[in-house]
């Protein structure tokens, strides 16, 4: 470019640029002009470290021409990347250390003025003309930032079509010059282009069925054999494009296998000569392959050009390196083993073979482009690489003809389309039976016009101090700091939108005369996309988009109709604590009645397992009518809840609520969007709940693992890693298609879904121990892991905030490289693609993993697991269990004072007479309460349930499955009742509990979710006779087995019982009625002790196991026991 703008261009007019001025060529001798044209005389300043001082020295000259890269300019200007999620982890580039040194020493002064960065930036801001070469190149947004900062007339040069709207350069297309490709062909400025498939094999190879790769290589060799030499004597060359590094290496090896004289050049970013394993594939072939092909692998193009054998090699392999920066007439052909995702990349690649080898252009030359004859990829169907390339090239030629035929439309229509839409939009319309004013006739609509969904991402937000000299209008109801901070937040969000297909962004603040909108900001924009129902054509679709920002102390609530695309870290927004989020499913507040508390229920919960073994549950999702009380799972003690759905309170009303603890997401869905003012009021109510320390989370959360503070750096060093990549790599997910990853590599990675152990950085395969505290890995809290052949480096980062925070950062360039699918571009060069679908985020899998913290880590600190971005200690919360509150482990044990008087199950024990049978036997108690009926609220739970039921069947006998069946047809509930009694003092005994548990668990065969049919009972036809024990048996009670409150016939009662056992709509329960076995008060006391005995722990764990089994079978278990020892 330096020679282009200083020598080659002016030479055509008989001038040259020397000493900062335009001079006649006749003023200089041929020797000087030769040095000038060879680049040995530098008539311009270079924007690089060694040129900064020269630029500064000449700052008073009337003219300076400065040539450099946008990367250098971006660093000098100190521009922060936008707060967009695709920029996650990036920061402003530091200017050269030259400026840092010059500020501390007087030796760097020039003309009495020190060269510092602020003055240098002022000098750059005086630019009169900015010429941008290769204007299509990405990442274009960083270039756009530089153009905006320089704010000078801009000339954009590009040999490849850029997006029609010139979005990133703010060009209107009013002054446009186009040299069409057809004109360039006709005037022999560039070679003609011919598209073809590689020639079919003339002779079959030794292999009966050659592979796609071997057949492709054979056809290339057949073509290369016809190459001659260019006029300078060098051999003609070809470029071969393949999708990734591994495929390029296989191609290079295949060329060598088929022709030992071939030494193809391979250029790729991933090739690092210091990596000892970089040529491992060659070692598998032979030592000769290492010797011959190893030196032909390069990381950069200039290395290949400067090597000894590179310039004389006919075949050059690459992925993206030979699409820019090489204009060499030696390249005659381009072979595409893999195609390109879009036509722009194809045009760039073809451009590398278009330079004429004959400077006189006496005869036409042709560049041949060969697309492979195998299918491009699975998503393109049966279309081959050649067919796709042919279609893309035809589309480009059509575009060039259109630009030549109607340049005024081709270069201005897209930039003015939005303005035309606004201009011709109707002022008023009759739609849906109503008369509506056109939006574009009054774009400054008041905030009351907008409606948004009742959902939000919730973040902590602390307004910072206002910079000195900042001028802005304070909003009523806000402090000066809050107004400035909210304005700045909205402005930075709007800037991030520029990386999306969003246009016409406007930040709307509440006017002074509008009440109820304090703390509210709105970013209004128009989103653009082409119809997804079209394959190759384009139909613009415009849609109004809104991002609402509401500050409700101490939180900020954000919702975006098109999805939030911001980088929360860069905006200094961090998620609420898990406890703050859990309060949204509260236990109760002061003064709240128990009746109101019962209105709160968690219906569905998803949890992440903290056990990382191969047989462990990784993720579980459970839905019931209520998980708060009846449901219990022992595994929850080693799980971390992530998302919940249920019914919660909002003021005095109940709402459906969806909550993501991990992501800080909240939704109280409504049937339609709500006015912005109502949305602001909703956020204030939610903020009041989240920030109220008096509100306790629902007891449901206490069943899960305990959250702990992040360990210090040495203790946080990762020792085991499990990647949660299923959701990211699942080929069946729509997002997978958007990311354009290689489906085969994705499946290989999913097969590696196992917990892996850390290896030291020194010796791969050696597992670090606790004695390794003096090595580098322990010192900085980092470690390395081998996921198959991919080495993943993991760094633990802990910040001493209040409260402290800890997180892990993964890095593995090889993993990202392997995933890039054929026909795609590297993650670092992704731009908004308006012609396919919206911006593709997360081309880097590792970046996505870091953003989502999609992994689990076992750190050095014992007993701690990192998951969902939080550290947990898997354990049971004994304090909650000991409290005996509803929903905890012990809540299945129900007090029944009447059981304290019972000494026998049936009444056949000593001391039970016909007169005392109803009081001293469990059968008598059950039968008497049922017969009496008349349920009353003052009754204990067992008595109430029996009195409310309408069928009771005694099943006791030789083939019994329970002692009683109890049916309530009104509530559609069936219970199997087991009676267990001992004439001794009750306590906390696991052996007694096992007696209860064994018989109760056996009931699941007939009443559980996978229940078996109950055999026809024959003993129901006979009365049950209860006799005293011993030789002199006396009748205590003769009991009719079938009892029906409404006098229902026995056969009908049987049918009701059998139907209830089979009917999925019936609520199924098992009741164990005990006496002399379990004492609830004693159990609570034992578990509340600071040092819990082994017996109490065994009792609690067995009860937890029992309750888990019933919960998973969708059966409610209730154990009735005497309340206390009188």
Quick: pLDDT tens for 294-346.
999 999 898 998 898 988 899 999 988 888 767 788 999 999 999 887 888 89
Distance from first CA to last CA of the chain, Å, rounded?
Answer: 99
Query: For residues 988 and 1099, is the Cβ–Cβ distance under 8 A?
Result: yes
Q: Residue 826 has what pLDDT? A: 40
Task: Report pLDDT for 840.
Answer: 37
CB 510 within 8 A of CB 520: yes
What band does 600 get if pLDDT is binned at 50, 70 and 90? confident
Give the β-pairing of 192-196 and 315-318: unpaired
Helix (H), strand (E) counts: the chain: 37, 47
Token couple for 827: 């993650």
pLDDT tens digits for range 375-425:
886 555 678 899 999 999 999 999 899 888 888 777 777 677 777 788 888
Instruction: Determine the average pLDDT of the residues in 664-689.
Output: 95
- Pair 739, 729: CB distance under 8 Å: no
CB-CB neighbours of 177 under 10 Å: 8
- Residue 530 — very low, low, confident or very high, per pLDDT cuts 50/70/90? confident
Question: What pLDDT score was predicted for residue 7?
Answer: 76
Distances (CA, A) of 437 to 147, 445, 675, 698, 784: 38, 11, 18, 48, 62
Give the tokens for residue 464: 């910072």
Per-residue pLDDT for 983 more than 70? yes
Lowest-confidence pick of 85-89, 224-228, 811-815: 85-89
Structure tokens at 560: 């975006």
Instruction: Answer for the pair 900, 1122: CB distance below 8 angstroms, yes or no.
Output: yes
Cβ(391)–Cβ(371) below 8 Å: no
User: What tens digit of pLDDT does each residue of 127-174 get?
Assistant: 998 888 765 554 467 778 888 888 888 888 877 766 555 666 666 666
- The sign of the torsion formed by the CA atoms of 104, 107, 111, 116 equals negative
Residues 200 and 178: beta-carbon distance below 8 Å: no
pLDDT digits (tens, 9 = 90+) for 1044-1089: 988 889 999 999 999 998 888 899 999 999 988 888 888 888 777 7
∠ CA 967-971-973 to the nearest 5 degrees?
Answer: 40
- For the residues 836-841, what does the mean pLDDT come to? 34
Instruction: Specify the pLDDT at position 103.
Output: 45
DSSP characters over 32-58: HHHHHHTT-S--SEESSHHHHHHHHHT
Q: Give the pair of three-digit tokens for residue 459.
A: 């973040």
Helix (H), strand (E) at residue 943: helix 941-948
Q: How far apart are CA 223 and CA 995, in angstroms?
A: 85
Predicted confidence at residue 880, as pLDDT, reads: 66
Q: Which domains does the chain have, with CATH numbers?
A: 2-185 (no CATH), 189-404 (3.40.50.300), 445-574 (no CATH), 576-702 (no CATH), 708-875 (no CATH), 879-1121 (no CATH)
Helix (H) / strand (E) containing 1084: helix 1080-1088
The reported pLDDT for the residue numbered 528 is: 86
Return the higher-pLDDT residue of 847 and 678.
678
Residue 68: pLDDT band (50, 70, 90) is confident
**Stretch among 105-109, 456-460, 524-528, 796-800 having the lowest mean pLDDT:** 105-109
The tens digit of pLDDT for each residue in 78-97 reads: 888 888 887 766 777 777 66
Q: Where would I find the beta strands (DSSP E) of 483-589?
A: 502-508, 520-530, 540-552, 555-560
pLDDT tens profile 878-913: 666 666 555 567 888 899 999 988 989 998 877 788
Contact 716, 902 (CB under 8 A): no
What are 179-219's pLDDT values in tens digits? 889 999 999 999 999 998 776 544 444 444 568 899 999 99
Sheet of 237-241, strand order? 192-196, 366-371, 331-336, 237-241, 315-318, 265-267, 297-298
Is 90 exceeded by the pLDDT of residue 768? Answer: no
Cα(248)–Cα(750) distance, integer angstroms: 24
Closest to 949 (Cα-Cα) out of 1043, 861, 1014, 856: 1043
Average predicted confidence (pLDDT) for the chain: 82
pLDDT at 147: 84
Contact assessment for residue 168 and residue 140, using Cβ atoms and an 8 Å cutoff = yes
pLDDT at residue 166, as a whole number:
61
Give whichever of 607-616, 713-722, 795-804 has the largest mean pLDDT.
713-722
Give the tokens for residue 966. 């109890």
């Amino acid at each position: 470019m330096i020679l282009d703008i200083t020598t080659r261009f002016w030479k055509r007019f008989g001038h040259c640029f020397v000493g900062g001025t335009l001079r006649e060529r006749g003023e200089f001798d041929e020797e000087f002009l030769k040095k000038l044209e060879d680049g040995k005389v530098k008539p311009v300043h270079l924007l690089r470290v060694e040129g900064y001082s020269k630029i500064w020295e000449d700052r008073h000259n009337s003219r300076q021409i400065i040539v450099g890269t946008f990367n250098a300019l971006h660093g000098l200007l100190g521009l922060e990347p936008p707060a967009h999620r695709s920029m996650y982890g990036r920061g402003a580039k530091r200017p050269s250390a030259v400026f840092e040194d010059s500020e501390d020493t007087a030796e760097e002064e020039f003309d009495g003025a020190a060269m510092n960065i602020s003055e240098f930036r002022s000098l750059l801001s005086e630019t009169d003309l900015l010429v941008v070469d290769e204007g299509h190149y990405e990442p274009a947004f960083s270039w756009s930032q530089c153009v905006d900062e320089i704010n000078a007339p801009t000339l954009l040069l590009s040999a490849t079509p850029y997006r029609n709207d010139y979005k990133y350069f703010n060009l209107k297309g009013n002054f446009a010059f186009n040299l069409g490709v057809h004109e360039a062909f006709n005037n022999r400025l560039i070679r003609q282009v011919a598209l073809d498939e590689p020639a079919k094999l003339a002779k079959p190879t030794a292999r009966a069925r050659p592979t796609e790769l071997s057949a492709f290589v054979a056809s290339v060799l057949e073509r290369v054999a016809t190459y001659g030499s260019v006029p300078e004597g060098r051999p003609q060359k070809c470029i071969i494009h393949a999708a990734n590094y591994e495929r390029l290496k296989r191609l290079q090896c295949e060329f060598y296998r088929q022709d030992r004289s071939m030494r193809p050049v391979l250029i790729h970013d991933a090739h690092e000569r210091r990596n000892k394993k970089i040529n491992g594939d060659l070692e598998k072939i032979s030592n000769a392959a290492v010797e011959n092909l190893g030196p032909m692998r390069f990381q950069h193009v200039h290395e290949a050009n400067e090597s000894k054998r590179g310039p004389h090699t006919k075949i050059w392999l690459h992925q993206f390196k030979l699409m820019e920066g090489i204009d060499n007439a030696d390249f005659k052909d381009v072979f595409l083993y893999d195609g390109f995702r879009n036509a722009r990349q194809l045009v760039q690649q073809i451009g590398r073979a278009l330079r004429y080898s004959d400077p006189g252009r006496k005869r036409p030359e042709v560049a041949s482009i060969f697309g492979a004859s195998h299918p491009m990829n699975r998503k393109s169907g049966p279309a081959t690489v050649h067919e796709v390339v042919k279609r893309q090239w035809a589309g480009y030629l059509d575009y060039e003809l259109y630009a030549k035929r109607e340049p005024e439309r081709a270069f201005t229509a897209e930039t003015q389309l939005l303005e035309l839409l606004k201009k011709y939009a109707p002022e008023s319309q009759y739609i849906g039976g109503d008369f509506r004013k056109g939006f574009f006739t009054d774009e400054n609509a008041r905030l009351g016009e907008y409606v948004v969904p009742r959902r939000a991402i919730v973040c902590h937000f602390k307004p910072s101090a206002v910079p000195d000299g900042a001028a802005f209008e304070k909003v009523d109801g806000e402090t000066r700091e809050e107004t400035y901070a909210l304005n700045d937040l909205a402005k930075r969000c709007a800037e991030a939108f520029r990386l999306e297909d969003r246009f016409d962004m406007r930040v709307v603040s509440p006017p002074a005369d509008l009440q109820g909108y304090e703390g509210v900001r709105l970013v209004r924009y128009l989103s653009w996309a082409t119809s997804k129902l079209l394959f190759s054509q384009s139909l613009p679709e415009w849609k109004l988009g809104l991002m609402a920002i509401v500050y409700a102390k101490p939180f900020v609530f954000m919702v975006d109709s098109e999805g939030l695309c911001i980088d929360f870290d860069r905006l200094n927004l961090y998620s609420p604590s898990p406890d703050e989020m859990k309060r949204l499913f509260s236990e109760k507040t002061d003064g709240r009645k128990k009746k109101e508390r019962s209105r709160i229920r968690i219906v569905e919960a998803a949890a992440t397992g903290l056990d990382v073994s191969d047989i462990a549950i990784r993720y579980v999702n459970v839905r019931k009518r209520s998980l708060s009380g009846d449901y219990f799972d022992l595994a929850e003690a080693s799980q971390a809840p992530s998302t919940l759905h249920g019914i919660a309170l909002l003021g005095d009303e109940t709402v459906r609520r969806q909550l993501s603890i991990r992501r800080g997401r909240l939704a109280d869905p409504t049937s339609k969007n709500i006015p912005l003012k109502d949305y602001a009021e909703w956020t204030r109510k939610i903020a009041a709940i989240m920030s109220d320390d008096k509100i306790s989370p629902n007891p449901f959360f206490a069943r899960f693992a305990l959250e702990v503070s992040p360990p210090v750096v040495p203790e946080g060093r990762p020792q085991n890693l499990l990647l949660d990549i299923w959701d990211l790599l699942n080929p069946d997910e729509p997002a997978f298609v958007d990311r354009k990853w290689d489906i085969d590599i994705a499946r290989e990675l999913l097969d590696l879904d196992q917990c892996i152990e850390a290896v030291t950085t020194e010796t791969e395969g050696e597992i670090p121990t606790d004695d390794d505290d003096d090595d580098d890995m322990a010192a900085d809290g980092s470690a390395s892991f081998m996921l198959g052949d991919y080495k993943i480096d993991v760094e633990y980062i802990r910040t001493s905030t209040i409260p402290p925070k800890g997180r892990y950062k993964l890095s593995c360039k090889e993993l990202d490289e392997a995933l890039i699918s054929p026909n795609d571009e590297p993650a670092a060069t992704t731009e908004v693609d308006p012609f396919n679908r919206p911006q593709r985020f997360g081309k880097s899998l590792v970046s996505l993993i870091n953003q989502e913290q999609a992994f689990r880590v076992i750190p050095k600190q014992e007993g701690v697991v990192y998951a969902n971005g939080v550290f947990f200690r898997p354990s049971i919360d004994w304090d909650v269990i000991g409290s005996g509150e509803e929903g905890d482990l012990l809540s299945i044990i129900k007090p029944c004072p009447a059981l304290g008087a019972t000494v026998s199950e049936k009444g056949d024990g000593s001391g039970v007479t016909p007169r005392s049978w109803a009081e001293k036997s469990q059968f008598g108690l059950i039968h008497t309460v049922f017969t009496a009926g008349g349920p009353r609220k003052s009754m204990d739970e067992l008595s109430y349930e029996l009195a409310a039921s309408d069928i009771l069947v005694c099943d006791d006998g030789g083939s019994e499955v329970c002692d009683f069946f109890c049916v309530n047809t009104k509530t559609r509930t069936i219970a199997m009742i087991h009676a267990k009694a001992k004439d001794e003092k009750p306590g906390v005994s696991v052996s007694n509990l096992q007696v209860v548990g064994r018989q109760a668990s056996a009931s699941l065969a007939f009443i559980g979710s996978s229940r078996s049919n109950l055999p026809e009972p024959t003993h129901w036809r006979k009365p049950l006779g209860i006799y005293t024990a011993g030789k002199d048996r006396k009748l205590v009670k003769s009991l009719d087995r079938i009892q029906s409150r409404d006098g229902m016939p026995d056969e009908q009662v049987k049918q009701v019982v059998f139907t209830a056992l089979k009917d999925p709509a019936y609520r199924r329960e098992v009741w164990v009625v005990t006496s002399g076995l379990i004492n609830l008060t004693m159990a609570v006391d034992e578990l509340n002790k600071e040092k819990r005995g082994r017996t109490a722990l065994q009792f609690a764990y067995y009860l937890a196991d029992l309750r888990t089994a019933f919960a998973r079978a969708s059966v409610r278990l209730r154990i009735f026991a005497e309340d206390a020892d009188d």
